[in-house]
Amino acid sequence: MLKCILQFTLIFCFGSSAAAGGYESVPWGVAVENVAKKFSKGQKLKLGQGYIYRQMKPDHRLARRTFGFDESGLHTVTIVFDEKYVKSKKLENIVAEQIHSYGEAIVDRTEAPYKLSYRWDRGDAIITLGYAPQRYDMVVMVFERK
């Protein structure tokens, strides 16, 4: 339930660097305190039966990064790209970087032209990059533990 709320709240999905077994060297299943140590300047919030840990503008590339936790620990990371970053970097370059990092993706155009998404199955996680063309504020990546 928490996973669905996070994904629907943020609408679409995007991906940064997911290490094997987690996200940016943080393994799946760790407690919110472990994530807060590595990713400072965030806020822990109760959401349903779990928690989220949210960082606003953690760096020049991201508008926000949200970590989702349930009874088994970290299970989802959602990042929303910064609108200015997307405009300057160009959406096609962001997509190309993800394909370079994760390999060929399954592309979903069923909701085109309103939404496009790329999906990678990385063994321990599903990574999704989604965006609304011409909406530079709606480029999102989700890393979800399987």
pLDDT higher than 50, residue 6: no
- For the stretch 58-98, pLDDT in tens is 999 999 999 999 999 999 999 999 999 999 999 999 999 99
Residue 104, amino acid: E
**In the chain, where the domains are located:** 2-145
Q: Sheet of 135-145: strands edge to edge?
A: 43-47, 50-59, 62-70, 73-81, 135-145, 125-132, 116-121, 106-108
| Cis check: omega of the bond before 113, within 30 degrees of 0 | yes
What token pair was written down for 117?
A: 């998404």
pLDDT, tens digit (0-9, with 9 covering 90-100), for 104-135: 999 999 998 899 999 999 999 999 999 998 89
pLDDT of residue 1: 40
Contact 124, 146 (CB under 8 A): yes
Mean of the per-residue pLDDT values of the chain? 88
